[in-house]
Structure 1
Amino acid sequence: MIDLQPVKGTRDFFPDEMRLRNWLFDVWRRVSVQAGFEEYDTCVLEHEELYIRKAGDEISKQLYSFEDKGGRRLSLRPEMTPSLARLVLQYKKSLSFPIKWFSMPQCFRYERMTKGRRREHFQWNADIIGQPEMVAEAEILMLLISACESMGLRANDIRIFINDRRILNAILSQLNVPHELHSAVLVIMDKRDKISPKALGKMLEEIGMSTSQVEQLNEFLSKSDLQELKDNLKDTEGIEELQHLMQLMETAGYINYLEFDISIVRGLSYYTGAVFEVNSPGKQHRAICGGGRYDSLLSTYGGETVPAVGFGFGDVVVLDVLKELERFPELPRTLDYTIIPFDSEQVGIALKIAAGLRLQGSTVDCNFSMKKMKKSMQQANESGAKNAILLFPEELSEDKVVIRNMQLREQKPIKISDLIFLRSKLLEYF
């Protein structure tokens, strides 16, 4: 017998769930357009090499990959940024930089499922490409704050924890950790909140760090003040850039959302500068959103170095957070009209009225169940209809119907010609 359950880690969306999903997508799309971003999309299938080349070992192990009939190795996209890089490189000569683009793709990763983590999810991506200054980070952060506020989340509900990869690299360089180990160290450091300090230290030593280096690294990671770090580091470029970003956000009025957190690393290996995650102030959940600067990604695919910054904002965790905080919007099904005939001879006139009302822009459903009055009214209530149009024989004989306001529970007869411009009449004007 066929398995009727969805594939493990994936979801079906019933109509009420689709209303919630569409509401979320509408928020993402509206704030993006308001901030001057343009929407784009790519195919869910990409060449496997696109991800293996630069996303990092962890992503590579989570790919849904297969060989097609032409012998090509393909993957379902696990994230959007490599596809964006490919697209920009393909059409770079015709693009006018900087560009501000967004998308809302469905992504797939074969990973262990936990709360807030599935094997497929939708993700809002927003990126600014071709803008080297930190104002790009400021715009990106303001965009995601606008989205959170539009969902009903405020500064006491969420925090943007921010760091800079250059600070972490400066620490590792000062500890004489070889440059070729930096990427591997940062991937391990990204697990800092998920495993014990002892296990973390063991993993760092296994890739080549000494016990002394691990101890000194932990000492640096215990510092929560940017100025204190600056006083103890030789290379302060990352700190100075982050301080500048903080000043921009303070001037814009959003500084209360930001918090420096040296433990923020972001596991993907292509980040080069500022990195950030959005979470609850106490980090009770998985990150709602994460992103950062990735200036070198395009060059790894054969192009020139192009400055870029962006984020990915998944649907699963934020919906869990909104549910816990009781911030879900009320999204009942709504209809302008439901038309109720009471015998089969009235079906034609019901369709004719429905067509006329729809041409006016109304949302209209027809109930052809031919139930008795009480049951029909119950179904009309359940449908969310504002009005019910009742086709009673006596009124129809006078070219009338009865229209009932479902909220006021009031009804009156009305001529069909007064209710709508019938399609046949409307066509006479063309």
Structure 2
Amino acid sequence: LKKEAAKAAKAAKKAEAKGGTPAGPAISTEPPSGTRDFFPAEMRTRNWLFAKFRETARQLAFVEYDAPVLEAEQLYVRKGGEEITQQMYNFTDKDGKAVSLRPEMTPTLARMILSLGGKVLLPVKWFSIPQCWRFETVQRGRKREHFQWNMDIVGEASIAAEAELLAGVTSFFKSVGVTSADVGIKVNSRKVLAAILKMYGIDDDKFEAVCVIVDKLDKIGPDETVQLLRDAQVSDEAARKIVASLSLRSIGELQELVGEHPVAADAMREMKELFALAEAYGFGDWILFDASVVRGLAYYTGIVFEGFDRKGELRAICGGGRYDKLLSLYGSPTVVPACGFGFGDCVIMELLQEKGLLPHLEPEVDFVVCPFNAEMRLHAVQVAATLRAAGYAVDVLLANKRADKAFSYADRVSGRRMVFVAPDEWDKGSVRVKDLRLERSEEEKLADRGIELPVAELVAELSRIGVAPQREERGA
């Protein structure tokens, strides 16, 4: 026993020397690399952003859906050498099944639509705000977990669907104070690149691999893009011509390059229609043609778009496009047209922070109820319950505090008013309410006796003098 005790004591000293405890090593207080903790202040900001996402989606008559964060790995393993396949958080579960934390939501949407069979009437307009996971390099605006606002229209082949999505994106930007001088949206079509590759003799089986490479152009530059195309068995001459063609910035320039190529002609017709719809919607000043935008995911088939910071300091803010073949890839017996976008929370938060557009949000506490002493606690709880039932956010002092300490606590939790439950007033069937929003010294706060209101009609009296719950005041 003495030997065991000595051994345990030695282990304890060793653990303490390393900053641990006798029970084990010290636990890091940091979240895993690339992930985030959301403390109350950050959570308020996140909820505000999500509320803006939801408000925009509902204005355009989209309905919300959700799904498990864990999916079958097979759902994401597609052809085309996408980076997303190498970035998955995937593992084998205890049933021996290959699963993955979702890296994106679109495949899940496709799975859900297919699961309904013929029971869903198309088109549908769905949105979600899922958390997504990708093991990638952590940098500004890029995490290994992020939330992504998705809006998708499934079952509509016309370009009006893309226009509706872009109307949603620009409406959101306007709702948070971002203008077309701050942000633009680059528009292109995968069909344009397909036509260019045909012109330069590139086989169809290289198309998706070329898209993945071209999508990196802004990040790696033209020379490295040419080299990657060479590595993909594209000739040096063709690689240089492809990269040069990606500098096109107008549909007129594109027309000159591709002439009457049928695939390109179809793409130009669609884009002209999209630009006309953009003017009708009122967001024509937000969008511009850019032949270099192709998006890196293999499933895109037509128009693609990407929101960008006009100052060029941030990575893509959002992106999306048409993916008419995805449901067929997953087993749909017929082609189901679809388009959508993803809008991550990280980059937009960076942009709003930089421009001073994030609101300062305090906790929503309408009342702090303060019992005069321990004997008044039951009565204070009754008052709090009455106010809560009427929709007010109410905090109750859980321990007896002096008046100055009670005021300090109310200030810390951003309480708007204090309700004092004291013997003298309670014997008369009333409580005393003080407004804490006024700029006053501690002495003035203590001296202010507030107003006396009857307990039996407390809610009615508060309504009469215009004291509504904060959520009602801001229309929540």
Question: Which residue among 65, 68, 72 is the counterpart of 1:47?
Answer: 72
| Contact preservation (8 Å) 1:341, 1:392 | yes
CA positional deviation for 1:237: 1.4
In the alignment, structure 1 segments of 5+ residues that lack a partner are 422-430
> Which residue in the other structure is 1:281 paired with?
310
Written as runs of structure 1 = structure 2, the 5 A alignment for 1:319-398 is 319-398=349-428
> Which residue in the other structure is 1:242 paired with?
271
2:42 is aligned with 1:25? no
Aligned in 2, Cα 1:35/1:56: closer, same or farther, shift over 3 Å? farther
Q: Tell me, what secondary structure is at the counterpart of 1:69?
A: coil
- The CA distance in 1 between the partners of 2:268 and 2:313, in whole Å, is 27
- The CA distance in 2 between the partners of 1:5 and 1:108, in whole Å, is 18
CA positional deviation for 1:149: 0.9
> Which residue in the other structure is 1:209 paired with?
234
2:329 is aligned with 1:300? yes
In the alignment, structure 2 segments of 5+ residues that lack a partner are 1-25, 439-444, 461-476
CA positional deviation for 1:413: 2.3
2:125 is aligned with 1:100? yes
2:442 is aligned with 1:417? no
**TM-score, L = length of structure 1:** 0.95
Q: Tell me, what secondary structure is at the counterpart of 2:457?
A: helix
Task: Give the AA of the match of 1:357.
Answer: L
| Contact preservation (8 Å) 1:100, 1:129 | yes
Q: Tell me, what secondary structure is at the counterpart of 1:263?
A: coil
CA positional deviation for 1:56: 4.7
CA positional deviation for 1:342: 3.4
Question: Which residue among 32, 40, 51 is the counterpart of 1:15?
Answer: 40
2:280 is aligned with 1:251? yes
- The CA distance in 2 between the partners of 1:369 and 1:114, in whole Å, is 45
- The CA distance in 1 between the partners of 2:170 and 2:100, in whole Å, is 32
- Number of residue pairs matched by the alignment: 421
Question: Identical aligned pairs, as a percentage?
Answer: 41
Aligned in 2, Cα 1:55/1:97: closer, same or farther, shift over 3 Å? farther
CA positional deviation for 1:2: 2.4
- The CA distance in 1 between the partners of 2:179 and 2:209, in whole Å, is 35
- The CA distance in 2 between the partners of 1:160 and 1:197, in whole Å, is 21
| Contact preservation (8 Å) 1:104, 1:125 | yes
Q: Tell me, what secondary structure is at the counterpart of 1:195?
A: helix
- The CA distance in 2 between the partners of 1:209 and 1:215, in whole Å, is 10
- The CA distance in 1 between the partners of 2:279 and 2:428, in whole Å, is 69
**Which deviates more from structure 2 when the two are superposed, residues 293-302 or residues 211-220?**
211-220
CA positional deviation for 1:399: 2.9
| Contact preservation (8 Å) 1:100, 1:126 | yes
- The CA distance in 2 between the partners of 1:76 and 1:228, in whole Å, is 43
- The CA distance in 1 between the partners of 2:376 and 2:32, in whole Å, is 44
Aligned in 2, Cα 1:54/1:147: closer, same or farther, shift over 3 Å? farther
- The CA distance in 2 between the partners of 1:140 and 1:200, in whole Å, is 30
Task: Give the AA of the match of 1:73.
Answer: A
- The CA distance in 2 between the partners of 1:405 and 1:218, in whole Å, is 66
Moved over 6 A (4+): none
- The CA distance in 2 between the partners of 1:367 and 1:387, in whole Å, is 13
Q: Tell me, what secondary structure is at the counterpart of 1:283?
A: coil
CA positional deviation for 1:115: 0.4
| Contact preservation (8 Å) 2:129, 2:148 | yes
Q: Tell me, what secondary structure is at the counterpart of 1:413?
A: strand
CA positional deviation for 1:406: 1.0
| Contact preservation (8 Å) 1:47, 1:73 | yes
> Which residue in the other structure is 1:171 paired with?
196
| Contact preservation (8 Å) 1:341, 1:368 | no
| Contact preservation (8 Å) 2:246, 2:290 | no
Question: Which residue among 320, 345, 351 is the counterpart of 1:291?
Answer: 320
**Which deviates more from structure 2 when the two are superposed, residues 82-91 or residues 368-377?**
368-377
CA positional deviation for 1:55: 7.9
Task: Give the AA of the match of 1:309.
Answer: C
- The CA distance in 2 between the partners of 1:141 and 1:195, in whole Å, is 28
Task: Give the AA of the match of 1:359.
Answer: A
Structural RMSD (CA): 1.5
- The CA distance in 2 between the partners of 1:320 and 1:56, in whole Å, is 30
**TM-score, L = length of structure 2:** 0.86
- The CA distance in 1 between the partners of 2:404 and 2:80, in whole Å, is 60
Question: Which residue among 183, 186, 190 is the counterpart of 1:161?
Answer: 186
2:178 is aligned with 1:139? no
| Contact preservation (8 Å) 1:161, 1:264 | yes
Aligned in 2, Cα 1:420/1:219: closer, same or farther, shift over 3 Å? closer
1:329-373 deviations in whole A, cap 9, x for unaligned?
231112111101232222211111111111111111101232211
Name which one, 1 or 2, has greater alpha-carbon Rg.
2
> Which residue in the other structure is 1:266 paired with?
295
| Contact preservation (8 Å) 2:181, 2:310 | yes
1:98-120 deviations in whole A, cap 9, x for unaligned?
11000111111111101000011
